[in-house]
Structure 1
Amino acid sequence: MRFDLLREPWLPVITLQGEAAYVGLEDALNRAHEYRWLQGETPTVTAALHRLLLALVLRVHFDGLDSVSSDKRWSELWFSGSLPAGLLARYLDGDGDTPGYRDRFDLFGAHPFFQNTRIPEDMTGSTAKLTMFRAAGNNATLFDHTANDTRTDLSPAEAARWLVTVQAFDTGGLKAGKRPSRPSLGNGFATVVIEGADLRETLLLNVPRANPSGKPQSSSRDRPTWERESDVIQDSSKTEKFIRTPSGQMDLLTWQSRHIRLRGHEDATGVVVHDAVILPGHRMGIDLELIEHTAAFRRSFRIRKGARDKEASGPWKPIQLEEVRGVWRHCRELLIANEVDNSQYEYLRPRNLDRITELHESEGCFPEDKVFTLRVLGQQLDPNRGAVHTWLEETLPAPLSILQENPGKTSLEPFIGLAVSLAVNMGEALQRMERDYHTRLKGNSQAERRLLQQWFWHPLSEEFNRYLMALAKGIKEDPRGIAPLTASWANEVDRIAHEAHLRWVDNIPRRPADDLFSLAKCSIQFKRRTRDIRHDFNSSIETDHILLKQKNFQRISTPASIEVLQNRKIFIDGLYQLGIELDSGEPTRASRARRVLSRIRRSTNDPRYLPDLVELVLPHSPVPDEKEVWYFVAVLFSLNPRPALSGKRRPLGIAMRDSGTGSSVEARLRQLLTSDWNVLQYRLRQVVPMLQQQGVALDYGQLLDDLVELHQAPHGSARAHRVHLRWTEHFLSGWEDHHSTISAP
């Protein structure tokens, strides 16, 4: 029984024509220039298979070379167009006194690939443990309901892919024989793969440089796991005691986090794998930041008062993917070269990016405007680390011009830091708003809270990529343009944050007026926080030669056409002119205005005066579905034509707040919030004369816009809800938040 991984199709690739195919290891390397990408069933499978191919490329094409020779070989392979097949054949078949390793790539041979032959024959296990999307033992999943005693047969190709994946990404928990185990190595960081134009370029861009001799991970002692003999199985059933240090990059890329043995048989369909024993394997005996090339890290620093140098206040922490917030938040750690100044954090980007910039400087391998793509892969485990919560895969552009920047000589890193911090602070303000709202209602809405974060973070990824590409172009053409580009990004963050706020408001269940007051209070606090956040941001990036202009995205214009809006304004200005004439002190003008307003007031009860109302409204060409609202606003104006003596006419909520009539006016507002259109007209005819008595001038232009929305939108709809929320916010906050309130869509 054989399954030759070198020639049997088991590696999933995408051809240059975009077609999916399966190939063996030999084709994957020798014909890598014919394939676009290696794409597994999950991001973790993709990452693990890349690590396997990188180990094989490193062993075949770079083993035994020092740093200088390795870089020279890399340059030759980059410009050659394909990986020479002869070197792989020589490695597999042997050359003179050098043994070959072709037999080590059989899934079921005397030296089964990636497996331990010392696992006892009487020890068995379910293949569901191998495929992490299936439920088995303590690895419960949401959609799969495989029972422990259910036999699951796998094809050798599928078993081989998951065999490689489990070594890098297995979950923690009890393994065969009730032996506890920590999660595999790859769960500790997000795997960064630099994507080239084809698979050959991708492998070369990611192949690590051989470690200098003399270090603990010396390349002279390095070899991949298939060249090693099986380790002795530990006897302890309580903990993992076998800790060792990788001897180099090939050892690390093929690290055996688990001792595994697959067993198969032949049936009518061919060879199948029916049994998989998984035991705890090696534990890493070195800090990852010292050897791992596909991960980014950060650590915090502190500067003591009076001290000249900074000191680390914590260990290196690898960058990991999160389910909602994009990987672009870690662009400093992923793209910027390691900084040397006394900033709060020190970053360590994937070392392969350092090698790319060094090769470009020495060999000129890439065009100056080259943009790489970083494909970041990983998974999240559940809180107990015993099951997969979700798989994650994201991309980030990596312009060569940014990779080459020296953080000690340019201002690029601080601006990117400010850009990311602004988004983080805005996201926290949204999260706090929603948390405060549900706290006020003593409710629990984790699902809604999650949606609000998605509405904010997901649109930012595309916008940040545009910002990053603009920075890459800007630092080459005019470094002084970094600040305005960052300011433009801030405007986009501001816009998206407030659009997420509006969407959240629209999706809040239509609740009683008491809940609307709670919502308004939280919304007001959110707008104040975002103003403070933006003010601090602007203060940080303003310079003498640039003026940052903050756009106000909080007030969303109505969808009415420009002509309709102009006609509304002309109509309202005509009403205001009647008020001015009424208060002009000139007998003729005042008498005319008083007569017109009196006839409009009487038109609601006496049909004889309706022509006067029509004569006032129709010359301004109201659209048919707004005409009734225009008539009603004209009637309301006749009840309170007071001009704005202080220069300010107040929207309804602020006007009611400033009327100073105590709790009774709040009760009237609550009545307005719960009224349908017919009842609302009756209650507004009571409120407006009250404002006249208190000497408060009303903004009839805003009132017309609001009433058009309430007349056209169904009672209790999202559109009506926005109007009611704006009235409530105005009532609670007054003029302070008037220019940052929600307008109807």
Structure 2
Amino acid sequence: MEVEFNLIDAPWIPCLCSDGQAVELGLRDTLVQAHELRELAGESPLVTAALYRLLLAVLHRVFGPEDYDTWCHLWRAGCWNAAWLDAYLGQWHHRFNLFDPERPFYQASDDRAKPKSLNSLVLDMAFGNKATLFDHHTDAEGIALTPAEAARAVVAAQSFGLAGLSGLPQKFTDGVCARGVHFFVQGKTLFETLMLNMLRYPTDEDVIPHHTDDCPAWEMDAPSERSLPRGYLDYLTWQNRHVLLLPEVTPAGVVIRQMTMAPGLRLDSQVLDPMKHYRIDKKRGPLPRRFNESRALWRDSAALFSLRSDDYRPPRTFQWLAELVDDGELDVSQTRRYMALGMANNQAKVDFYRSERLPLPLRYLSDDNLVGRLSEALKMAEDVRRQLWGATRTLATFILSPQADGSEARKPASKDLDGLTNQWAIERDYWSRLEIPFRQTLVALPDDEEVALSTWRSVLLRTAWESFDRVARNLGTAGPAFKAEVRARDQLALGLAKALPKA
């Protein structure tokens, strides 16, 4: 019995409507109704990012836009031309069948690979050494997915699959999205979000070099082995895995419990992703910005907005927005948002995945001086953090060794100091308290720099003392604790006066 699940028509893309209601739509309806939808809403940030890339590949193929004027025309239309979409999707309808016997969507067979469970396909489930927090699936148990769930898993795995052993002579390599954070500018609707992330296509040569035979994966009849993409569409749909789903027909409907998987295309490491932010290291070259469990992304906001610095290679969407602002197509006084989607991993192990959303006042993209003031605000926060850290070490020193200031006294061991200060987690508390005030400062700074920085200075002072007092209150008032608090409090007061001098 032949099984069919065509991604153009069948519902499988999770979306949020304008009223917040969750729905699943087919590829065609998602794009045609994009101006009425709020955003994509995958079960993980990895799925969401992969779906955005897939939709962008379709849109670039249909609409370009080949130049600035074409982009502006599409933007002002406010929705996609359904007739153009239908013509393209109708032409390639057969290539979007998830279970096509000859060319299943985003899949390829490898006779060397043996059938196995889907656990290694679903990136947020445990398998082998890739256990993620709170997931308790095992290889032995296996999982069963609906066609819609399996389709999303395949799309995400092609982008975010991790390097590792495959059971074959060739190893798995990282998918194009596996390392680094992906940045998407967010609009008020899904249509706006997709438009704001559509670069000119064919792209500039410094994005992804373009060849005349560039096309998305589903248009290729016999994809060749290669390490360099033919262009941006090839890159957006890069097939890093040879996955083949093995569907089963049950009384409850079609389910997928097994697949085959083998290594696919290996991407040249010199190819840079237009959606990532890179720091330029003099020795190692461009390094993608990654999520850090102990460092929120907002602390690097000034670097993200530094579009004309030799130290960074910003996301091309940010540079494209700057051009639209400079030419007046977008109002410089507007505040958009950007999404940062991705995961943190250690070799072949997923540590966590994350989605962060932050304000994007467009004035930062055209005003280097404003970015400098933002950098100043962030430096103030880091300077206060250093003073808070020093006072915390002093507090811990006198708690562990009340006579530490004596000439013959033995100072506490570093590991004991680290253990106590880690237990207090003052720095973590400090940074978490600052996140919302920073967002407010980020938005306020373009309107009145001096007032915003003055308010931020007050926030930093208050927050440092609140974080310190949270720990000090729990130490009691006994002699050693009192002495430790007095010493640390005096040090913090002097340090804050140095870090945040009054104007």
> Is TM-score (shorter-chain normalized) higher than 0.5?
yes
Q: TM-score, normalised by structure 1?
A: 0.60
1:316 match: 286
Q: Give the distance between the partners of 2:263 and 2:113, measured in 1 at CA.
A: 17
Question: What's the offset of the Cα at 1:320?
Answer: 2.3
Are 1:398 and 2:363 matched, yes or no?
A: no
The code of the aligned residue for 1:336 comes to S
- Provide closer, same or farther for how the CA distance between residues 151 and 319 of structure 1 changes in structure 2, counting only shifts above 3 A: closer
Matches within 5 A, 1:699-718: none
Are 1:378 and 2:370 matched, yes or no?
A: no
2:71 counterpart (71, 74, 89): 74
Matches within 5 A, 1:249-288: 249-288=232-271
- Provide closer, same or farther for how the CA distance between residues 272 and 431 of structure 1 changes in structure 2, counting only shifts above 3 A: farther
Q: String of CA shifts for 1:514-560, please: whole Å, max 9, x gaps.
A: 4664565455444444333224xxxxxxxxxxxx44xxxxxxxxxxx
Matches within 5 A, 1:346-745: 346-362=311-327, 364-381=328-345, 384-405=346-367, 407=368, 411-431=369-389, 433-434=391-392, 437=396, 440=412, 442=416, 445=419, 448-449=422-423, 451-474=425-448, 482-507=449-474, 513-514=479-480, 517-518=483-484, 521-535=487-501, 548-549=502-503
Q: Secondary structure at the match of 1:22?
A: strand
2:84 match: 87
Question: What's the offset of the Cα at 1:417?
Answer: 1.5
Q: Give the distance between the partners of 2:371 and 2:181, measured in 1 at CA.
A: 22
Matches within 5 A, 1:177-192: 177=168, 180-192=171-183
The code of the aligned residue for 1:504 comes to V
1:149 counterpart (121, 131, 140): 140
Q: Secondary structure at the match of 1:129?
A: coil
- Provide closer, same or farther for how the CA distance between residues 511 and 377 of structure 1 changes in structure 2, counting only shifts above 3 A: farther
Q: Secondary structure at the match of 2:165?
A: strand
Are 1:105 and 2:88 matched, yes or no?
A: no
Q: Give the distance between the partners of 1:450 and 1:387, measured in 2 at CA.
A: 29
Q: Give the distance between the partners of 2:483 and 2:174, measured in 1 at CA.
A: 48
Q: Secondary structure at the match of 1:8?
A: coil
1:206 match: 197
Q: Give the distance between the partners of 1:196 and 1:358, measured in 2 at CA.
A: 17
Q: TM-score, normalised by structure 2?
A: 0.87
2:406 match: none
Question: What's the offset of the Cα at 1:492?
Answer: 1.4
The code of the aligned residue for 1:218 comes to H
Q: String of CA shifts for 1:703-734, please: whole Å, max 9, x gaps.
A: xxxxxxxxxxxxxxxxxxxxxxxxxxxxxxxx
Question: What's the offset of the Cα at 1:229?
Answer: 4.2
1:52 match: 54
Are 1:325 and 2:295 matched, yes or no?
A: yes
Question: What's the offset of the Cα at 1:56?
Answer: 0.9
1:193–1:206 CA contact under 8 A, matched in 2: yes
Question: What's the offset of the Cα at 1:392?
Answer: 1.3
Higher relative contact order (CA 8 A, sep 6+): 2
Are 1:297 and 2:278 matched, yes or no?
A: yes
Q: Give the distance between the partners of 1:450 and 1:146, measured in 2 at CA.
A: 34
Q: Give the distance between the partners of 1:210 and 1:186, measured in 2 at CA.
A: 20
Q: String of CA shifts for 1:131-159, please: whole Å, max 9, x gaps.
A: 12222222223433323222311111111
Q: Give the distance between the partners of 1:283 and 1:125, measured in 2 at CA.
A: 23
1:210–1:219 CA contact under 8 A, matched in 2: no
1:431–1:449 CA contact under 8 A, matched in 2: no
Question: What's the offset of the Cα at 1:178?
Answer: 7.7
Q: Secondary structure at the match of 1:128?
A: coil
Q: String of CA shifts for 1:398-421, please: whole Å, max 9, x gaps.
A: 11222222x2xxx32322222112
Q: Give the distance between the partners of 2:126 and 2:191, measured in 1 at CA.
A: 36
Q: Give the distance between the partners of 1:347 and 1:316, measured in 2 at CA.
A: 8
1:15 match: 17
Are 1:224 and 2:216 matched, yes or no?
A: yes
Are 1:335 and 2:335 matched, yes or no?
A: no
Among the aligned pairs, what percent are the same residue?
29
Q: Give the distance between the partners of 1:229 and 1:452, measured in 2 at CA.
A: 58
> Alignment RMSD, CA only?
2.8
1:328–1:461 CA contact under 8 A, matched in 2: yes
Question: What's the offset of the Cα at 1:231?
Answer: 5.2
- Provide closer, same or farther for how the CA distance between residues 214 and 198 of structure 1 changes in structure 2, counting only shifts above 3 A: closer
1:245–1:286 CA contact under 8 A, matched in 2: no
Q: String of CA shifts for 1:669-694, please: whole Å, max 9, x gaps.
A: xxxxxxxxxxxxxxxxxxxxxxxxxx
Q: Give the distance between the partners of 2:484 and 2:450, measured in 1 at CA.
A: 38
The code of the aligned residue for 2:103 comes to H
Are 1:130 and 2:121 matched, yes or no?
A: yes
The code of the aligned residue for 2:199 comes to P
Q: Secondary structure at the match of 2:311?
A: strand
2:203–2:232 CA contact under 8 A, matched in 1: no
Question: What's the offset of the Cα at 1:185?
Answer: 2.4
1:612 match: none
Question: What's the offset of the Cα at 1:244?
Answer: 1.0
2:393–2:417 CA contact under 8 A, matched in 1: no
The code of the aligned residue for 1:7 comes to D
Q: Secondary structure at the match of 2:73?
A: helix
Question: What's the offset of the Cα at 1:373?
Answer: 0.5
Q: Secondary structure at the match of 1:464?
A: helix
- Provide closer, same or farther for how the CA distance between residues 141 and 18 of structure 1 changes in structure 2, counting only shifts above 3 A: closer
- Provide closer, same or farther for how the CA distance between residues 184 and 122 of structure 1 changes in structure 2, counting only shifts above 3 A: closer
Q: Give the distance between the partners of 2:494 and 2:19, measured in 1 at CA.
A: 53
Which structure carries more helix by proportion?
1
2:31 counterpart (29, 32, 35): 29
Q: Secondary structure at the match of 2:312?
A: strand
- Provide closer, same or farther for how the CA distance between residues 503 and 244 of structure 1 changes in structure 2, counting only shifts above 3 A: same
The code of the aligned residue for 2:228 comes to T
The number of residues matched between the two structures is 483
Q: Give the distance between the partners of 2:262 and 2:427, measured in 1 at CA.
A: 39
2:326–2:366 CA contact under 8 A, matched in 1: no
The code of the aligned residue for 1:275 comes to Q
Q: Give the distance between the partners of 2:302 and 2:182, measured in 1 at CA.
A: 16
Q: Give the distance between the partners of 1:180 and 1:149, measured in 2 at CA.
A: 23
The code of the aligned residue for 1:246 comes to P
Gaps of 5+ in 1: 94-99, 233-241, 301-311, 340-344, 475-481, 536-547, 550-745
The code of the aligned residue for 2:304 comes to L
Greater alpha carbon shift after TM alignment, 510-519 vs 498-507:
510-519
Are 1:42 and 2:44 matched, yes or no?
A: yes
Q: Secondary structure at the match of 1:374?
A: strand
Greater alpha carbon shift after TM alignment, 80-89 vs 17-26:
80-89
The code of the aligned residue for 1:48 comes to A
The code of the aligned residue for 2:105 comes to F
Following TM superposition, the consecutive aligned residue runs of length 4 or more in structure 1 with deviations greater than 6 angstroms are 213-216
1:16–1:36 CA contact under 8 A, matched in 2: yes
The code of the aligned residue for 1:505 comes to A
The code of the aligned residue for 1:325 comes to R
Question: What's the offset of the Cα at 1:8?
Answer: 0.8
Q: Secondary structure at the match of 2:255?
A: strand
- Provide closer, same or farther for how the CA distance between residues 331 and 258 of structure 1 changes in structure 2, counting only shifts above 3 A: same
Question: What's the offset of the Cα at 1:182?
Answer: 4.1
1:208–1:293 CA contact under 8 A, matched in 2: no
2:228–2:271 CA contact under 8 A, matched in 1: no
Question: What's the offset of the Cα at 1:127?
Answer: 0.7
Q: String of CA shifts for 1:632-672, please: whole Å, max 9, x gaps.
A: xxxxxxxxxxxxxxxxxxxxxxxxxxxxxxxxxxxxxxxxx
The code of the aligned residue for 2:341 comes to L
Q: Give the distance between the partners of 1:286 and 1:173, measured in 2 at CA.
A: 16
